[in-house]
Amino acid sequence: MTNAQQARNARRKKTLWMVEVALLAAVVILMSFTPLGYLKTAGVEITFIMIPVVIGSITLGPAAGAILGGLWGVTSFIQCFGMSAFGTALLGINPVLTFIVCVPTRILAGWLSALIFAAFRKLLGEKKAKFIGSPIASLAVALINTALFVTLVIVLFGNSEYISGMRGGMGFVEFFAAFVGLNGVIEAAVTFVVGGAISTALLGYLGKHAE
């Protein structure tokens, strides 16, 4: 293969990567502002937006994971302007801290899940990582997001009247567990199953068409 052909292939791969990231970004935006992305009932607000984020993280790498995670975070911050009761309350206390709670946490969740999958691929090889690493990396997105989000809420807003009222006399661990509750469990389970299954299937498809 000549240098010119290699350059064309590199440009083609980069363009394809950008298109795939853009498609997943469109899914994130669609889910963020329609009922597809959130399950909101009395006292429960569960998000499924992390699914396209983890799919991008696993199939397209850390940069895609960070970009999609960042977009997820920005849409989450936008939700604080009246679309999320909890987010609106935080925004009313401190907009800057609310942005920190919403955006960097999601960037890290997308980026770290990609690194986790890459570690499995390096240790186990492509085939085993596809079936083992994909579900674990998918689960990691939910766990990392929840852990960072709840921890930052407690650390940054713990002294506010709003969070103090929610916390009552509970210690950090007790409040953390209560705050995560059913929401976190459902999000983790759905992301583990759906995100892992779709990512595994896509990796198989992409692997066949790369040969």
Q: pTM score, two decimals? A: 0.88
| Domain encompassing residue 115 | 3-210
pLDDT in tens, 164-190: 888 777 777 787 777 777 678 888 888
Please provide the DSSP assignment of 137-182 as one string: HHHHHHHHHHHHHHHHHHHHHTTSHHHHHHHTT--HHHHHHHHHHH
Cα–Cα distance between 165 and 167 in angstroms, integer?
5
Helix (H, G, I), strand (E, B) or coil at 41: strand
pLDDT in tens, 22-44: 999 999 999 999 888 887 765 56
CATH for 53: 1.10.1760.20
Q: Decide which of 173 and 57 is more confident.
A: 57
Q: Would you say residue 208 has pLDDT above 60?
A: no
Distances 74 to 28, 37, 197, 202 between C-alpha atoms, Å: 11, 14, 26, 26
Contact 72, 50 (CB under 8 A): yes
pLDDT in tens, 89-123: 999 999 999 999 999 999 999 999 999 999 999 99
Average pLDDT over residues 141-156: 91
Residue indicated by tokens 């790498």: 61
What is the distance in angstroms between the CA of the first residue and the CA of the last residue of the chain?
A: 16
Question: Considering its fold, how many domains does the chain have in total?
Answer: 1
**pLDDT value of residue 211:** 42
